[in-house]
Amino acid sequence: MSSSVITPGSNESDCVKPKSRSWLQRIKPVFCLIPFVVFYYLFQLAPMIWVLINSFIYDDQFALDNYFEVLDSAFMMQAFGNSLWLSVWSSIVGLGIATLLVSSLRRVDSKIRDGVIAFTNMSSNFSGVPLSFAFIIILGTNGAVTLLLKQYGLLGDFDLYGKWGLLAIYIYFQIPLAVLLLYPAFDALSDDWQAAAALLGAKTSQYWTKIALPVLSPALFGTFIILIANAIGAYASVYALTSGNYNVITIRIASLVSGDLFLEPNLAAAISVILMLLLAFITIINQWLISKSYAGRK
């Protein structure tokens, strides 16, 4: 049997204070988290819930007609196809160029590396209308580079305002983002690994295919998904370059909620839900590939 001893000059309230203070210390982070929870709800969950609910409203009643209209429309399917084509190819090319760039940065002087990273950080914010205007000046119909290449017969039927021109713009703003995302991941590679592989008779290509790329695969897959999401949600650059005449899904959503003739926000909500499901499916596939890569390394 145990008994508590109260020293002279002390009382019960003094014994309770440490417990109350520890309880306040545990609950304090929760109060600090409340503003972030409110912000997340107002700007992330609430819009998603609104879009989901309104996607089922058709003629003031709940129905699936909005989804049937989207899936039955060849024009909408073309918009999804164009967006996916631009997103996937710009992500593949941008990821490949960024991987080579980051790999090369590890071999240069630290001052040059810091300068390139600073420039990349700055150029990652150069997008939208300014980026489209810059491309028009450089590669437009009468752009400086366009006229120079045509003079020497090095440029054929390149059209900045078509899918190849849009692909060039997409690749441009994908590369800086991919570099910033991949740069920390390359710290997982040790220079000793390549030296050890060379001593064992492995070629440089074998080192990359057997050692480096498997180690980097989770970062590469994750970056690839982020690049797809970044590209498929692009709007300002496409609109500024084509004035909304090129059929991509973001242009279609914008035309349904801000058009001068036909305002169909419920149909736009259905398109947005399909787009979210598509991105969720791509993300699930990405997570499965990442888990397989981790399992393969074990």
Tens digits of pLDDT across the chain (298 residues): 444 444 555 555 455 455 556 777 777 777 888 888 888 888 888 888 999 999 898 888 888 888 999 999 999 999 999 999 999 999 999 999 999 999 888 878 778 888 888 888 888 777 788 888 888 888 887 788 888 887 777 776 777 888 888 999 999 989 999 998 888 888 878 778 878 888 888 888 888 888 888 888 888 888 998 899 889 988 888 888 888 888 899 998 988 888 666 788 899 999 999 998 988 888 888 788 777 666 555 5
pLDDT tens by residue, 248-287? 999 989 888 886 667 888 999 999 999 989 888 888 887 8
Residue 194 CA to residue 207 CA, distance in Å, equals 6
| CB distance 231 to 279 below 8 Å | no
Q: Is residue 256 part of a domain?
A: yes
* Residue 65 domain-assigned (yes or no): no
Count the neighbouring beta carbons within 10 Å of the beta carbon of residue 276. 14
3 lies in a domain? no
For residue 3, the model assigns a pLDDT of 47
Tokens of 219: 């970062």
Number of domains in the chain: 1
Query: Would residue 88 count as lying in a domain?
Result: yes
Q: How far apart are CA 180 and CA 228, in angstroms?
A: 15
User: Which tokens is 1 given?
Assistant: 């049997």
The secondary structure of 195-220 as a DSSP string is: HHHHHTT--HHHHIIIIIHHHHHHHH
Domain that holds residue 164: 78-296
**In this structure, are residues 180 and 227 in contact, taking their beta carbons and an 8 Å threshold?**
no
Residue 162 within a domain:
yes
The CATH code of the domain that includes 246 is: 1.10.3720.10
218 belongs to a structural domain: yes
Residue 255 lies in a domain: yes
**Is residue 89 within a helix (H) or strand (E), and if so which, with residue range?**
helix 74-105
Q: How many Å apart are CA 197 and CA 99, to the nearest integer?
A: 20
| Alpha carbon 132 to chain centroid, angstroms | 20
Q: Distance (Å, rounded) from C-alpha 17 to C-alpha 236?
A: 58
What contacts 24+ positions apart, CB below 8 Å, involve 127-131? Answer: 127/173, 127/234, 127/236, 127/237, 128/236, 128/237, 128/240, 129/236, 129/237, 129/240, 131/169, 131/172, 131/173, 131/237
pTM of the model: 0.80
Paired with 57 in beta bridges are: 62
Specify if 43 maps to a domain. Answer: no
Place of tokens 């980097």: 216
DSSP, res 261: S
